[in-house]
Amino acid sequence: MKNGKAVVLVVEDSAIIRMGAVDLVLSAGYEALEAGDAEEAIRVLESRDDIDLVFTDVQMPGTMDGIKLSHYIRDRWPPVKLIIASGAAILEESSLPVESRFFTKPYDDHTIVDAMARLLSSEIPIAPAG
């Protein structure tokens, strides 16, 4: 978190949904970055050291979906918080990286903002459920 404002990277291949998610991030008072697929998200993460949270869709074009991306991020950038959303897949919690949250689409904006706030306010790693 730089300058007291959290930085959130939104990863979504649908431009309309991505714009809505970026607006949601901005309205919550965070800085928003965006990527259209996992490869672009990784380039953004490699070019910046101030990303606090990644909010990603599951189904995306390319070689890596949102689940693979979230595991890659957890392994390479462990402090980055993760929110994963999908309109098609309901995921087993065991398939998600530790310290991540999953939401089905359409998601409730307030629920996402609350999850972001909770994840971003936790300096201590969140213990996995179970």
Note down pLDDT in tens along the chain; length 130 residues: 666 789 999 999 999 999 999 999 999 999 999 999 999 999 999 999 999 999 999 999 999 999 999 999 999 999 999 999 988 766 666 688 888 999 988 889 999 999 999 999 975 444 444 3
| pLDDT score of 4 | 76
Q: Which structural domains are found in the chain, ordered by start? A: 7-121 (3.40.50.2300)
Q: C-alpha dihedral over 104, 31, 75, 91, to 10 degrees? A: 0
| pLDDT score of 123 | 57
Between CA 112 and CA 49 the distance in angstroms is 23
Q: What is the pTM of this model?
A: 0.89
| pLDDT score of 21 | 96
| pLDDT score of 122 | 75
| pLDDT score of 3 | 64
Sequence-distant (6+) residues with CB within 8 A of 2 are: 50
| pLDDT score of 127 | 42
